[in-house]
Amino acid sequence: MHLIADPSDPERVYVASEYLMMSADGGKTFDPVDTGFGDHHDLWIDPNDSSRLIEGNDHGALISFDRGDHWTHADTQPTSQMYTLSVDNRFPFFMYGSQQDWGSMAVSSRPKGSRLGWSDEYETARSEAGHTALDPDNPDVLFVSDHHWMYKHDRKTGYDQFISPSEELYYGWGTADMRYRFYWTFPVIWSKHSGALYTGSQYVHKSTDEGDSWQVISPDLSAAEPETMELTPLYGRDTSSNGPYWGPLTRDSNGDNWNATIYTIAESPLRGGLIWTGSDDGLVYVTRDGGENWKNVTPINLPRRTLISRIDVSHHNEGTAYVAATRFKVDDFGIYVYKTDDFGETWTEITNGIEEQDFIRVVREDPGRAGVLYAGSETGVYVSMDDGANWQRIQGNLPHVPVYDMQVAQGDLAIATHGRGFWVLDDVSVFQQMTEETMSQTHLYEPRVVYRDHRAGRGTPPLATPAPYGVFVNYNLAEDADNVRIRFSDSSGKLIREFSDLDTKAGLNRLIWEDMRYPGADEMENHPTRSNRNIGPYALPGTYQVELVVDGKSYEQAVELRKDPRSIATDEELVRQFEFVSEVRDTISSANQTILEIRRIREEVLGVAAADSQLAERAADINDWLYRLEDVLIQYDAEFRMEYHAKATKLDDKLYNLAGHALRGDARPTTAQEALFVEHLATYQEILSGLGELISGDLATFRALAEEPGDTDVPN
């Protein structure tokens, strides 16, 4: 509960709690302020105009300009409070998680169109604070934890089935009286080895039938200190033993203050039945035999009652695991990150380089290279390329925000933030290749495999900035350079694109060939068209060469471009699309050159006529002929793009439009598109024939007359 006084009115005070209340009489009476949402945390009042308010609640930030009579909606601010993150194996991969007071969701890591909108996400289960477990190859069925319940969510039907190990309702009860103590965000994981589900109360529970039945496979794996386990205040019951741990505070009864619970569970990706747990009161356990035997392997120097936030088990070595732990709830903002290589027999602190008090909630190992680690902190993200011996921040454009979870997926780093929703750091494959040698010299890193992924240009207003897509070219410069260029060539060595306006500073730099397209048509300067002129064909699947040229010295790598896994087009159809668009593009380039030639001839003829009035009539006839030709090719009477909406489109615009339509999606050009191009080619050939007839006829005569002695001294 927060009390906020109006700085301009001593009688007005607000109370932010589950409801937002306001008193205009110094607190004698209160009236509710309807924001449309609940669970209010903070309120800012403009000191110069107290009718202007910014209110923060579980859903996000709301703004009012009339002292709370009307508010903006929470979905206008990207402020989702995510707790956890899971990913699937689709392309593009989807991110799953629960957001405070707004249910569980799945969001695509890349939009279908050019903007990330509502069509790129969907609701899953009703959870607001739990984990999402799933078979990454079958993401239509999800297992989602929430408070002390669990749901099985079927996306096809939209149904949520309760599959909790215990259906008992424990709101308001003390943990000392509970059969199973499930934390507010209790863990649930899906085993890639057996398809079993594992979840945690104070015990580890296992289900082999998607939650229909559960088996306890561990003893109590929490510290279960009596002073942290409150007795329920029942009628006539002596609760004096609850002691000073809780003090005068009334704790939340929904599960976020229940203690002595398993907070995190992780199974080895290399070996089934190798399972680790971490409790909210400071214990780490491991079993190597699927729960038959458990061993307490808590780091010796880990302070008592530390919350084990995440355990990540290595993709490269069975005995290696990483622990991230926090103690901010007891006013200790220290860094607690540990690594073991021997199943927890010994531990090493790995905290060097992490900023003071920037405590770590999660550490993840990169599946692509042993020793590359990512850490999510209270303010952002760190990376280590030496197995945690040293860390450095990789904040970039990520806001300073608590990072609660992260996953490496398809070469990207996805993170769940508590206040800014999901974020993705694109292409972390460069960290998998970095060595002391590559970082000390000029080096072109090998680009990762790229999938063709082109998007429609229209859509709803964006909900978030879409991820870039294309060929990521990462290069290191040993020192500042004067000139840096990057060239892309096909397998035969033919140059496709060249980029020259690049970063020249020493260190790691990046270029993204975002659209993966060949150049468009040769353009005419200062001439608008109604249609999109970006009509270069998409590069076909295959192997391409990337060349980095730094002050004249060349470095090369190959990059593989693959077909979109979602595409149903055949290779032959993609080739025909490429050929067709190339033919249309080349026709546009030729037509633009023809237009320039027509205009050059007009300038020549009118210039001669201006100097020799005897040729004025002939010049007017030629100019009329030229305009008749140009009028077919281009809307010369339009000076800016919007004029095209009121004026007739001509051949250049029609060709641009045809190429743009043929580029939509992975498909060969339609029969109608092929036929229309034949018609446009015939029209263009008629223009070329007419221009040729003019040049060899009337224009030749005009030039001959202009060159006769005494007629004019204007040069040909």
Is residue 603, in this structure, part of any structural domain at all? yes
Query: How far is residue 306's CA from residue 603's CA, in Å, rounded to a whole number?
Result: 84
Integer Cα distance of 46 and 418 in angstroms = 26
Question: What interhelical angle do 571-611 and 671-696 show, nearest 10?
Answer: 20
Structure tokens given for 280: 């909210």
How many other C-beta atoms can be found within 10 angstroms of the C-beta atom of residue 553? 9
602-629 mean pLDDT:
93
652 CB-near residues (< 8 Å, 6+ apart): 529, 588, 591, 592, 595, 633, 634
Query: How many separate domains does the chain show?
Result: 4
Same domain, 556 and 584: no
Do both 600 and 689 map to the same domain? yes
Residues 539 and 648 in one domain: no
Structure tokens at 267: 């199974």
How far is 485 from 497, CA to CA, in rounded Å? 11
Q: Name the residue among 213, 320, 309 with its Cα closest to residue 271.
A: 320
Tokens of 224: 């279960």
Q: Are residues 201 and 226 in the same domain?
A: yes
Q: Are residues 176 and 47 in the same domain?
A: no
34 within domain boundaries: yes
CATH number of residue 269's parent domain: 2.130.10.10
Strand partners, 554: 549
CATH number for the domain that contains residue 515: 2.60.40.4070
Asked whether residue 23 is domain-assigned, the answer is yes
What whole-number distance in Å separates Cα of residue 14 and Cα of residue 33? 9
132 and 187 together in one domain: yes
DSSP string, 457-526: S--SPPSBPPPP-SEEEEEEESS--S-EEEEEE-TT--EEEEE-S---SSEEEEEEE-S-B---PPPPTT
| Helix 651-662 with 671-696: angle, nearest 10 deg | 150
Both tokens of 137, joined, read 């190859």
Instruction: With CA atoms as reference, report the closest residue to 128 among 418, 556, 369.
Output: 418
DSSP state of 456: B
**Region 278-296: what's the mean pLDDT?**
97
Q: Which residues pair with 45 in a beta bridge?
A: 53
Whether residues 556 and 577 share a domain: the answer is no
| Residue 702, φ and ψ in degrees, nearest 5 | -60, -45
**Average of per-residue pLDDT across 296-300:** 97
pTM of the model: 0.90
The pLDDT score that the predictor gives to residue 121 is: 87
Taking only the tens place, the pLDDT of each residue in 51-103 is: 999 999 888 889 999 999 999 987 777 888 999 999 999 999 999 999 988 88
CB–CB of 343/288 below 8 Å?
Answer: yes
Structural domain span for residue 321: 123-235+242-378
Do 594 and 545 share a structural domain?
no
Q: Which of 716, 695, 703, 675 is nearest to 594 (CA)?
A: 695
Does 199 map to a domain? yes
If asked whether residues 32 and 128 sit together in one domain, one would say no
Residue identified by tokens 């290399």 is: 270
Express each pLDDT in 515-557 by its tens digit: 899 999 998 877 766 666 778 999 999 999 999 999 999 999 9
The 10s digit of each residue's pLDDT in 671-706 is 999 999 999 999 999 999 999 999 999 999 999 998
203-213 pLDDT per residue, tens: 999 999 999 99
CB 391 within 8 A of CB 384: yes
What integer pLDDT is reported at residue 710 of this predicted model? 35
Same domain, 161 and 253: yes
520 and 643 assigned to the same domain: no
- Angle formed by the axes of helices 651-662 and 616-633, nearest 10°: 20
d(CA 681, CA 580): 13
* Residue 531 within a domain: yes
Q: What confidence tens digit (pLDDT) does each residue in 433-483 have?
A: 999 999 999 999 999 999 988 765 544 555 666 677 899 999 999 999 999
Distance CA 646, CA 632 (A): 17
Task: Name the token pair of 452.
Answer: 């063709």
Q: Rounded to whole angstroms, what are the CA distances from 367 to 267, 270, 547?
A: 15, 11, 28
Q: What is residue 676's three-state secondary structure?
A: helix
Same domain flag for 517 and 628: no
Interatomic CA distance for residues 208 and 439, integer angstroms: 48
Give the 3-state secondary structure of residue 53.
strand
Of the candidates 336, 355, 378, which is a domain's last residue? 378
Cα–Cα separations (whole angstroms), residue 7 to 57, 65, 67, 534: 21, 16, 13, 55
**pLDDT at residue 713 greater than cutoff 60:** no
Beta bridge partners of 403: 417
Average predicted confidence (pLDDT) for the chain: 91
590: enclosing H helix or E strand: helix 571-611
Contact between 63 and 57 under an 8 Å Cβ cutoff? The reply is: no
Residue 587 region by backbone torsions, left for phi larger than 0, else alpha for psi between -120 and 50, else beta: alpha
Domain of residue 20, CATH code: 2.20.25
Specify the residue for token string 């957001």.
Answer: 99
Instruction: Examine residue 92 and say whether the peptide bond preceding it is cis (omega within 30 degrees of 0).
Output: yes
> Is 293 a residue whose pLDDT tops 60?
yes
Q: How far is CA 354 from CA 43, 391, 394, 623, in A?
A: 32, 6, 11, 75
Residue with tokens 């005070």: 13
pLDDT digits (tens, 9 = 90+) for 504-517: 999 999 999 988 99
Eight-class DSSP state of 680:
H
Quick one: pLDDT at residue 110?
86
Query: Per the domain annotation, does 449 fall within a domain?
Result: no
- The residue from 562, 596, 619 where one domain ends is 562
Residue 257 has pLDDT above 60, yes or no: yes
The separation between CA 402 and the C-alpha centre of its own chain, rounded to angstroms, equals 17
**pLDDT score at 531:** 66
Number of Cβ within 10 Å of residue 382's Cβ equals 25
Give the separation between CA 308 and CA 20, rounded to whole angstroms: 34
Q: Helix %, strand %, coil % for the chain, to 5? A: 20, 30, 50
- CB of 326 closer than 8 Å to CB of 307: yes
CA distances from 338 to 46, 335, 364, 387, 613 (A): 45, 10, 12, 11, 93
